[in-house]
Structure 1
Amino acid sequence: MARDAPSLDSFGPGGFRVSGVWRPGSLLIVSDVAAPWPVRRLDEATPDSLYPVFAAGAREVEFLLLGTGAVNGLPPKALRDLLQKGGIGLEYMDTAAASRMYNVLTAQGRRLACALIAM
């Protein structure tokens, strides 16, 4: 990886393998730190739930890669609006696709945050 970003090794029912360690539940990666994310459904992805992304700001986070769960869905409007206002882009797709995309983007040195809803 171009940065010191954790690797997303695999995903499966109920969690993710991050840098060799199984992490149950949803996952938030900001500033190259992976942490549990207490979101189980897309409608729970609120600005408050993503406070670390907003705290890091647009200088640290070019865009948020959002894994929306088993199926792709439109993130809540309040979240989309606040990201836009903060100058942080948004790319969203189902969690399987976002999980595969994460390592590619970090290898390119992209400044991203990644929020993945466990399937």
Structure 2
Amino acid sequence: MQMTEVTYADAIPIDSYGTGFFRIGGEVIKGGAIIHAKGARSWAGYEDVDAVLALKDEIDFILMGTGANMAPVQSAFRQTLEAAGIGVEPMASPSACRTYNVLVSEGRRVAAVMSPVEEAAKE
């Protein structure tokens, strides 16, 4: 099998994630994160919609990482982004990390808006 090295000429990849954090371009962001071709920053949750809207001229859609499992995106958040022309694709955060890396390696205009994966509840 031939292996091909993935390059990210115009983007910063998501290196890894863990309980409560994302590692992006070698830097750790604790809690939620917004990742796009030009950088990454912390994300305070659905009330931080302006941070996503600021990217509207640079992206076509966002991958919405909803944590350990796929969950519905808050309706007002989705409607605000879609009214600005930004599509929203929800998925579990682990899947969003992988999908984001594939799409940016292809040069797609995408951002990932991620809720962290939290530790599983202990009984």
Shared topology, TM-score over 0.5? yes
- Shorter-chain TM-score tier: 0.7 to 0.9
Rounded to whole Å, the distance in 2 between the matches of 1:13 and 1:66 is 17
Aligned to 1:36: 42
Rounded to whole Å, the distance in 1 between the matches of 2:108 and 2:32 is 22
1:71 match: secondary structure: coil
Per-residue displacement from partner, 1:64-116 (whole Å, max 9, x unpaired)? 11100111111011111112211111111011110111110101111112111
Aligned to 2:19: 13
| Structure with larger Rg | 2
Cα RMSD (Å): 1.5
Aligned to 1:71: 69
Rounded to whole Å, the distance in 2 between the matches of 1:50 and 1:88 is 12
Aligned to 1:22: 28
1:51 match: secondary structure: helix
Rounded to whole Å, the distance in 2 between the matches of 1:99 and 1:30 is 12
What residue identity is the alignment partner of 2:79? Answer: D
**After the TM superposition, which parts of structure 1 deviate over 6 Å for at least 4 consecutive aligned residues?**
none
Please state how far the C-alpha of 1:31 moved relative to its aligned partner.
Answer: 5.1
Rounded to whole Å, the distance in 1 between the matches of 2:50 and 2:80 is 11
Rounded to whole Å, the distance in 2 between the matches of 1:74 and 1:36 is 21
| Contact 1:30/1:53 (<8 A) preserved | no
1:11 match: secondary structure: strand
For normalisation by structure 1, the TM-score amounts to: 0.83
Percent of aligned pairs with the same residue? 36
Aligned to 1:52: 51
For normalisation by structure 2, the TM-score amounts to: 0.81
Rounded to whole Å, the distance in 2 between the matches of 1:30 and 1:63 is 11
2:55 match: secondary structure: helix
Which stretches in structure 1 are left out of the alignment for 5+ residues? 40-44
